[in-house]
Each structure stands twice: as C-alpha cells, then as structure tokens.
Chains A and B, each alone.
Chain A
C-alpha cells in the first residue's frame, strides 16, 4: 500500500492564479481531510469528507473548494490564490470504524507570491 499520496510536493503560484492539490489514498478509507499547517499554528482543518459525494467545511474553508467523486480521491481546489494561502497542505484519511487514527500524506508546500 502506498497509503496517502499528494501531488505536487512544491508549488509557487502568482496572486490570482488557481490550482488543484491532488490527494489519493489506497486504503479504502471513508473519511478524508485537508489541513493546512502554518508555522507555530498546528494543523487547521479546511474541508473533510465522510464518503464519496459528501463533503463539509472545517475551520478555515474560505478560498478553497473540494470534491469527492470516488473513495480514493479528494482534490483541493484553490481559486484566486492569495499570499495568505501560503502554507503546507496535508491530506489525511481514516477508516470508517475501528481505529480513530488519521494517516497523513507527505504534504504540499505552496507559496503564493
């Protein structure tokens, strides 16, 4: 199992550009999450999904959108990138029942200039 994979690893955007951060998991997990990590601020939940076709907002959803058309994929869309979206983005997944452990991807470091 590859676990949770994220692409790209690094990206530099100009203000106003758009991009999609990709996240895929091969563990057949129902729950998937997107977090952003800013220095000294821990992880903040952006969006989450409890299964294909079902998504909901987390703590900091403004400026982002998500979709979940399959169990495996949970892309995060940034529209009109702003410098405040400069951060490291982590995708995570969790199985529906049993362990509450979240499994994290390696992250995408995004810089908006």
Chain B
C-alpha cells in the first residue's frame, strides 16, 4: 500500500513532442505528489509538485495531471527538448515527511 508504481521505465521522444510519464498509488493518505528530475551524476531536484485538492498544475512546459478517484497522476512535458533528457521520479508523501519514490523513468529526447 506504500508503493508508488511508475511507467514507463524508459521513454524516447522526438524533439518537440510530448513526453508522458504515469504514476499510480494506493495509500489515500498521501497528500503531496512531487516530481523530481535527475541528471546523470547529480542528485534529484524538485521539478513540480501537486496536492490532491487540484486536478492539474502547470509550470512552463511541465504539467501534472491528477486523478484522485483513480489514484493516478502523470507528468506531461510539452515541446520536449534534448535538455529534458534525464531520469524522472514521481513520489508521494503524507505531510511531506516520509516520501515514497517511484522507480524512475529514463527520458531521452532525440534532436
């Protein structure tokens, strides 16, 4: 019940395309859903986050869609760029305290 399931494991997208990464959770007590971006050799960094009282949050080319009833949320990267090539982790936590991470998605954007 503490798991966060993330898919796909890897993703190849053409430059200018839309990248979509999906996550699902079971624990309805989760109240904070961040996405972290990690470049090779670096630590993860917060990209965008959402709370379950809204269904969508957009920051620039990055959008989180949240479906509370289905217990699913997804990251959409519009107009994907080669510089977006990285590993993306979804996560969930209760009170932002102990965070459960998905397994990660390796995104490669072809120029």
Which A residues lie at the B interface, using CB under 8 A? 4, 31, 35, 40-45, 48, 58, 90, 92, 94, 99-102, 104-107
Secondary structure of the B side of the interface?
loop
What is the interface size of chain B, counting residues whose CB is below 8 A from a CB of the partner?
22
Which of A40, A41, A43, A105 gathers the greatest number of chain B CB atoms within 10 Å?
A43
Q: How far is the CB of B70 from chain A (nearest CB, A)?
A: 21
The number of residue pairs between A and B whose CB atoms lie closer than 8 Å in the complex comes to: 47
Which B residues lie at the A interface, using CB under 8 A? 6, 9, 32, 34, 41-46, 49, 89, 93, 95-99, 101-104
- Complex contacts, A40 vs chain B, CB 8 Å: 9, 103-104
- Complex contacts, A44 vs chain B, CB 8 Å: 101
**Which chain B residue lies CB-closest to A50?**
B97
User: Is A100 in contact with B34, judged by CB distance below 8 angstroms?
Assistant: yes
User: Is B96 in contact with A100, judged by CB distance below 8 angstroms?
Assistant: yes
